[in-house]
Each structure stands twice: as C-alpha cells, then as structure tokens.
Structure 1
Amino acid sequence: MISALIHAAIRRRKVVLGVAAVLSVFGLFTYLNLPRESNPDIPVPFVSIQVPYPGVSPEDAERLLVRPLETELQSLEGLKEMNGVAVQNAAMIYLEFDVSFDVDKVLQDVRAKVDMARGRFPPDAEEPIISENNVNDNPFIGIMMYGAAPERTMYQAARELQDRLETLPGVLRTDLGGGREEVLEVTIDPARMQAANVSASELAQVIGRNNQLIPAGNLRTKDTEFAVKIPGVVEKPDDILALPIKRNGDRLITVGDIGQVRRTFKDPGRITRFNGQPTFSIDVVKRSGANILESVKQVRAAVAEEQKRWPETIQVAYTFDESEFIERSLSILESGLIIATILV
C-alpha cells in the first residue's frame, strides 16, 4: 500500500510538487497572520457593571441601583445569567452571555441599557464602570512618563495619552498610576462667612447641588429611546465663585464673597517611581484576540506621535514589554523549523 503511494507520487511528481507549493504558500500566509501570544487567548463571555455610591447601605443600593439595572438589562439579547450584588458604597451586576457572543455588540448594548437605567439613579451615584472580563487581564506593556516637567503638565499629557491609547483596536483598557486627581479646593474666610450668616452645611449643600448631572427623564423618538440629563457640573473656578448661597436683604451672597477657589491635587493613593524619579505609569491591557506584536507597534507609534507635542522635559520609557519575549520565542521556533526542514 505504502509502496504504491510512493510510486504514484514519483510518477506524478509535478502534481505533488505543485500541491506542496500551494500548501506551503497558504501555510506561510496563515502563519504570518496568526496572533502572537505567550499565553492562550480564551474568550470569556462575562461583563461586569459597578456603580459606586459613597455612603449608601446595601439595602438602599439594591433598591436604588440594582433593581433599575436589572429591569433594563434583562432584555439583552444572548443573556444567559445575571447576578446582582449590593454592598456598602456600591452595587455590582455580573452578566453571563452565550459562548458565541459578539463582544463589541454586547458591550454596545450593555452601555445603552445602563444609560437608560441611570435616569432612575440617585443624583449622588457615580459613573457606572463597565468591564469586559478577560483571562489575560495583565498588561502587555507599561509606559513610564517622568522628568522635570510640572506635575499638572505631566498629568494632562498622561491623560491625553491614555485617551489616545484606548482608541486603538487592540487595547481593552489602560490604567493610569502615580497621578493625583486634580480638584478645585474652596478656602473659606471664617470672618466673612460669619458676617454673611452662612453656615458650613449651607455652603456644602450649595456646592453639592450645583455639581451634578440632573436626570431629566427619557426622550422617545420613532425608532429609539435615550436618557436626557441637564448638565450642571463645575468645570472652572469661576463656576464655583458665582454660585449663589442666600439673599441677605437686597444683596445676594455668593461663594466668592466669603472664600476663594484654587486648583490643587488630591493626596496620592499610590506613589510610582522610575529610576528614583516621580513617574506617571500607564499599564496597557490588550483586547481578547488581538495580536500582541501588532498592538505593541501601535502603542509605541501612538506614544511617539503624542510625544512630539510634549515639552522636552517629559521623558518616556517602556517596561515589561511582552512582545520582546514573544519575538524571542518565535525566533527559536522559526530557527528550529528551518533546521528541521533542511534535515528532512
């Protein structure tokens, strides 16, 4: 049997060589387009939603946050299971979909449903956080920004770079570390505050009421429905200084009459250093199924493009670049295949 096959292949050697050449071309094309990873990429059909709400009890979180979300999310296409968890200061929803789910479509549908549910959230509830679960949830490259530039300049550059990286097709998310969140700090003159007969609680209520997005219900059209909110978020110091507190006779007392506002930073929750210097770090996590080698090239290209707009005092370095390990592994594999082909 085997002897007959060998003789047939020898008699039709041109056909055999042609088939081998075609298969080799297709094999090379497939190899060049395969995703390169150090670990297998396993798609996980899970999506989580977290809604922070400082000060809320588990009972109130279930009533005010979990139930509106469950009402909207239960109609999602392909939803297999939904679990809601209410804890102190937050509420979480965990969604499981069919294994054949389309992650981009699912995330789009989830965001739309969450936006509809937010119209029934309390005003003090924070922005919902929607996360795509991924087995390979570790960063594939880290970006370190350091130098002698002012902290505010570096923070602004890091935020802009973070937004740019999250638009790349192979990037799932980015985590910014080492940066302190910028805030507006109101400094009150006790003497002027007492003269205007304004209490600390009145001042806090005025600022809190005027720094939030106010739900205005849902707007229905012929084809769709979406939530409407009235913007009322403080964006610059003058917005706070102009806030009215109370009327004292014919005079309207504002925040600017009893205090001052300045930009500052929150106390750091984590300190990041690189080569002994204060650093802003950006950890980049890849999207499921993305090619790490191609994603690293896109990340480095985006950083190089953004760096052209930065002052020369901001320097950039890369850490734990996973593509370097993959390239070394591929080089060993390719050399082994070439040697085996020559020997055979």
Structure 2
Amino acid sequence: MRSVIAYFIKFPVAVNIFLFALFAFGLWGVLGTRSSFFPLNEPNMITIRIAYPGASPQEIEEGIVLRIEDNLRGLVGIDRVTSVSSENTATITVETLQDYDIDVVLADVKNAVDRVPSYPVGMEPPVVAKLEPMARSVQFTLSGDKVPLKTLKQIARRIENDLRGIEGISQVDLTGFPAEEIEIAVREPDLRAYNLSFAEVAQAVANSNILSTGGTIRTESEDYLIRARNRRYYGDELDFIVVRADASGRIIYLKDVAEVRDTWSEVPDRLYMNGHPAIEFSVSTTNSEDLLHAADETLKYIDDFNAKNDNVHLDVTRDASLVLRQRTQLLLENG
C-alpha cells in the first residue's frame, strides 16, 4: 500500500488518469444498466403446447401426452416434467437443471417430440418453445363510445404493430375479445329443394377453401412449384363456392343453400371499460430490454394517440415503472 501511495505522489498525473477512467467506466456501467421490477433470472422452462380440436382430456392424455413423456425420459439436463390436459388442448412443462444450457435441452426436447411415430388425425403440430421470463411494464385499454368490437380489434392490431416497431418493445399481448369464426348456417328447405345433403355442402367447403402444395414440374431451364392458394378468411368470400354443377350448366353456390357470416366464438372472453367494450394491451419486457424505457415509450405513444383520436381512447390501468421509480427514489433519499 505504501508503494502505491508513493507512486501516486511521485506521478500525480497517473492519479488523475486513474480517477478519470474510474469515473468513465462507472458512468458507462450506470447508463448500460437495465431496469427491472424483479431480479433477472435465466430461463429454465420449456413448454410443449398441443392442440387437438374436438378431443377430450383423456384422449389427449393417452394418445399424445404419454407418448411424448415417454420420449422425454432419460434426457440429460431435465429436472422435472409436468403436464396438464384439458378439452382440445394440453401443455407439457419441462424444467431444466440450473447448470445446463437450456438451448441444448430445447433441441433435445424437439427431437424427442419428433420421434413420436404418429399422432392422431386432426391434431395440429406441437409447438415447442423456451419460456422466456417476462416483466409487465404497462397495461392499458382501448375503448370507445358505441364503437363495435370488430372495429376496436382492427384499431388494436394497428396499435400493436406500432408498439412492436418501437425499439426496446417486443412483447405486446392483446386480450378482451374471442376468436373470430366464419359461421355457415345451412337452410334445410333449400337443401331439399336442390336435393343436397349436409355432407355435400361440408365437402364442397373443405375442397374449395384450401392452401396446399401440389408438387413440382421440372423443365430443362427451371422448376415450377404448383400451389393452390384458395383459402378465404371472411364470410362474404365464401358465398360463391360451387356446391354442385351439372351438365346443363346449372350451378349451385353456397349462398343459395346457406347463410354465411362472420361472427365471434362462443367463448365468453369480453372486457369492458366504463361500460363500453374494450381491449386490453399488456406491454412486457424480456431480460434484454429495459422496463423504464419500454414504459416511457408506451406512455408517450398513448398520449400521442389520445391527442389524435376522439372516438376511441387509451386508458392506463397499470404502470409498473411508477412503483419502480418510487422505490429507486426512496433508496437514493435514504442512502
């Protein structure tokens, strides 16, 4: 210690350089520090989501979940495997050991899922993903006086795209509305008049509303990919599906025997704000994002949106940055 002090006394410029470097690195560390409401944790959970429309919990458990769990046994790095089966869906949660790389375990889990010889017909492909830790930053609602829910959803999608385009914001979730569906209500008198069956109508819709690949045509100069792109997403686009056509030239369209309309699913997923239909936004941050920055940018966007729109309004329901700033200020005052 005496030699260090003697060196600094002999060379005072070195002291100034050392203090300047210490201050510069300290300032760089403070500016680069990310804020979070809770301590940051590395992800250690993997989820396998299964969708099997029309299946009971027992069918999903016996026909899918148990097969996947059998393939997961013996994988290195797995601590525990749990599963929950319900109607139409199931979720398998894989917890990894702390000392193992979760990306390596994720690849092993995907291989285990792919090794299942066969899945039931009608099941959607399993979705295997790493569960990233999320921290809620800001929650707010979109509502308007006498604004239909469908219009609110269209505006909400634009707001979602705007928020995702802001640097530092990647996680935006929307709730408050059920899934959209196309309802085809077949009229029985018209079926009898045209001598049609319900199965014929269903088969015509299934054969016409498709999106699939039909193969490849190879030539000497280039290859041609054959693809059928005839999928429709709105009810009025299905009106002119041909149900039957005969040799005389008579064509029976879907609109001749059924009422086609866009509707919402029967799931009672609704949200109201001050008595009006509303959609809730939840802006979250990952370990690589700053909570305060995401909150500031979101609040700034909300103020700009409310200033430009009169018929719809954004209302903040929860702001985690407010509590975080208050706790930080308390530490500074008491420190």
- After TM superposition, the score normalised by the length of structure 1 is 0.70
Partner of 1:326: 324
Give the conservation status (yes or no) of the 8 Å contact 1:214–1:229.
yes
Task: Name the amino acid aligned to 1:142.
Answer: Q
Give the conservation status (yes or no) of the 8 Å contact 1:147–1:314.
yes
Give the conservation status (yes or no) of the 8 Å contact 2:51–2:124.
yes
Query: Using the alignment, how far apart are the partners of 1:48 and 1:229 within structure 2?
Result: 33
Query: Using the alignment, how far apart are the partners of 1:238 and 1:38 within structure 2?
Result: 48
For the pair 1:279 / 2:299, whether they are aligned, the reply is no
Task: Name the amino acid aligned to 2:36.
Answer: E
Q: How does 1:1-344 map to 2 (within 5 A)?
A: 15-56=14-55, 80-81=77-78, 87=85, 89-92=88-91, 94=93, 124-126=122-124, 129=127, 131-135=129-133, 137-148=134-145, 149-166=147-164, 170-171=168-169, 173-211=171-209, 213-214=211-212, 230-247=228-245, 250=248, 251-267=250-266, 269-301=268-300, 307=305, 311-336=309-334
Q: Secondary structure of the residue that 1:197 maps to in structure 2?
A: coil
Q: Secondary structure of the residue that 2:35 maps to in structure 1?
A: coil
After superposition, the Cα gap between the structure-2 partners of 1:238 and 1:64, relative to the gap in structure 1 and judged at 3 Å, is farther
Query: Using the alignment, how far apart are the partners of 1:239 and 1:296 within structure 2?
Result: 41
After superposition, the Cα gap between the structure-2 partners of 1:85 and 1:5, relative to the gap in structure 1 and judged at 3 Å, is closer
Which deviations, in whole Å up to 9, do the C-alpha atoms of 1:227-257 show, x marking residues without a partner?
x985453223343222233346743322111
Structure 1, gaps ≥5 residues long: 219-227, 338-344
Query: Using the alignment, how far apart are the partners of 1:232 and 1:309 within structure 2?
Result: 42
Query: Using the alignment, how far apart are the partners of 2:124 and 2:235 within structure 1?
Result: 22
Give the conservation status (yes or no) of the 8 Å contact 2:306–2:313.
no
Which deviations, in whole Å up to 9, do the C-alpha atoms of 1:153-186 show, x marking residues without a partner?
2111112323443455644533322224333333
Give the conservation status (yes or no) of the 8 Å contact 1:142–1:282.
yes
Q: Which moved more, 1:34-43 or 1:245-254?
A: 245-254
Q: Which moved more, 1:16-25 or 1:79-88?
A: 79-88
- What's the % identity of the aligned pairs? 21
Give the conservation status (yes or no) of the 8 Å contact 1:139–1:286.
yes
Q: How far apart are 1:31 and its partner, in Å? A: 0.9
After superposition, the Cα gap between the structure-2 partners of 1:212 and 1:321, relative to the gap in structure 1 and judged at 3 Å, is farther
Q: Which moved more, 1:327-336 or 1:33-42?
A: 327-336
Q: How far apart are 1:308 and its partner, in Å? A: 8.4
Give the conservation status (yes or no) of the 8 Å contact 1:124–1:212.
no
Q: Secondary structure of the residue that 2:55 maps to in structure 1?
A: coil
Give the conservation status (yes or no) of the 8 Å contact 2:140–2:318.
no
Query: Using the alignment, how far apart are the partners of 2:228 and 2:307 within structure 1?
Result: 35
Tell me how many residue pairs correspond in the alignment.
317
Q: How far apart are 1:106 and its partner, in Å? A: 9.8
Give the conservation status (yes or no) of the 8 Å contact 1:211–1:232.
yes
Query: Using the alignment, how far apart are the partners of 1:171 and 1:121 within structure 2?
Result: 37
Give the conservation status (yes or no) of the 8 Å contact 1:123–1:214.
no
Give the conservation status (yes or no) of the 8 Å contact 2:236–2:261.
no
After superposition, the Cα gap between the structure-2 partners of 1:268 and 1:32, relative to the gap in structure 1 and judged at 3 Å, is same
Query: Using the alignment, how far apart are the partners of 2:64 and 2:243 within structure 1?
Result: 31
Which deviations, in whole Å up to 9, do the C-alpha atoms of 1:97-149 show, x marking residues without a partner?
7867587x999x89x999x99xx8777444755544134x4522112111123
Task: Name the amino acid aligned to 1:328.
Answer: Q
Task: Name the amino acid aligned to 1:239.
Answer: E
After superposition, the Cα gap between the structure-2 partners of 1:287 and 1:242, relative to the gap in structure 1 and judged at 3 Å, is same
Structure 2, gaps ≥5 residues long: 217-225
Task: Name the amino acid aligned to 2:313.
Answer: Q
Q: Which moved more, 1:176-185 or 1:78-87?
A: 78-87
Query: Using the alignment, how far apart are the partners of 2:126 and 2:302 within structure 1?
Result: 28
Q: Which moved more, 1:30-39 or 1:264-273?
A: 264-273
Q: Secondary structure of the residue that 2:255 maps to in structure 1?
A: helix
Query: Using the alignment, how far apart are the partners of 2:291 and 2:174 within structure 1?
Result: 20
